[in-house]
Amino acid sequence: MTGLDVSAHGLVHIYRLEGNDVVALSGVDLDIASGEVVGLLGPSGSGKSTLLNLLAGLLQPSAGRLRVGDHDLTRLDEKGLARMRALDVGIVVQGAMRNLLPYASPVDNIRFAQRGARAAKRQDLPDPHEVLDLVGLADHARTSLDQLSPGQRQRLAVAVGLAARPGLLLLDEPTSQLDHEGRDEVLAAVEDVNRIIGTTVVAVTHDPEVAQRLRRTVTIRDGRVGAEGRRGEDFAVVGRDGSIALPPDILEAVPPGSLLRVHLEEDGSVRLILDDGAEGES
């Protein structure tokens, strides 16, 4: 299995809360290439977990287009979405033990997680011991879960997500409530998984330190892509509709509703000019 690519165009998700429509995502444009490792960064309520659940097929888009590999998630029925999750998309929810059977050994947890792929007649499932080796737990195949450290339990949760060798691995806050050592163990395991088998990884995090360890970060703000990070530097993103989400510090000087003139300079830079004559350059 090689990594799956992801493409979202104008993605919208609206849900009902106490009789009112709440817009969780309002036009997300996002492309992730096969084999990328991407962090979704943003405050609570920004929409990043909603986006992760849409990629997993656990929620249906209200509008827009969403594709994971060859799967058009706007067209799949529940049976098709369940088959996709069994074969092609691994999901690790927040909190290691929510992904695990507490009474089963690590190797039996992997076998249990493979049951959906076996039911779908998958013939090339990896050996559970190989999956544990990927995350550095080969020596703990029969260790009781209560004897594992928090970092080891989280790595086991990642292994459960990888049980069917999916092309896309989705991680929701994989390092929350871990100390620095446990956090580094989990991030190193994810990096090894991506390097060795080429799985595309999308991880939700609120921790900027974790985001800096990932090759690419996408900041979700107010239900839209607000910025992207490369090599520790943030960039504003121009949407397919020409919109751009300005960073919070710029919005203090250029509040919503401001009128701007946009000039493309000969050297390729873009100058934004406020209608009151104040100038800024980006």
* For the chain, domain boundaries: 6-245, 246-282
Could you tell me which CATH number the domain at 6-245 has?
3.40.50.300
Whether the CB-CB separation of 80 and 68 falls below 8 Å is answered with no
**DSSP annotation string for 23-70:** EEEEEEEEEE-TT-EEEEE--TTSSHHHHHHHHTTSS--SEEEEEETT
Q: Which residues pair with 11 in a beta bridge?
A: 28
Residue 282 pLDDT: 45
Q: Is the dihedral of CA 189, 194, 197, 200 positive or negative?
A: positive
- Give the pLDDT of the chain (282 residues) as one tens digit per residue: 589 999 999 999 998 888 888 889 988 999 999 999 999 988 788 889 999 999 999 999 999 999 999 999 999 999 999 999 999 999 999 999 999 999 999 999 999 999 999 998 888 899 999 999 999 999 999 999 999 999 999 999 999 999 999 999 999 999 988 999 999 999 999 999 999 999 999 999 888 888 888 889 998 888 888 777 776 666 777 767 777 777 666 777 777 777 878 888 878 788 878 776 544 444
Rounded to whole angstroms, the Cα distance separating 201 from 227 reads 19
Listed residue (211, 210, 163, 222) closest to 183, CA to CA: 210
The pTM of the full predicted model, rounded to 2 decimals, is 0.86
User: What percent of the chain is helix, strand and coil (3-state, nearest 5)?
Assistant: 30, 30, 40
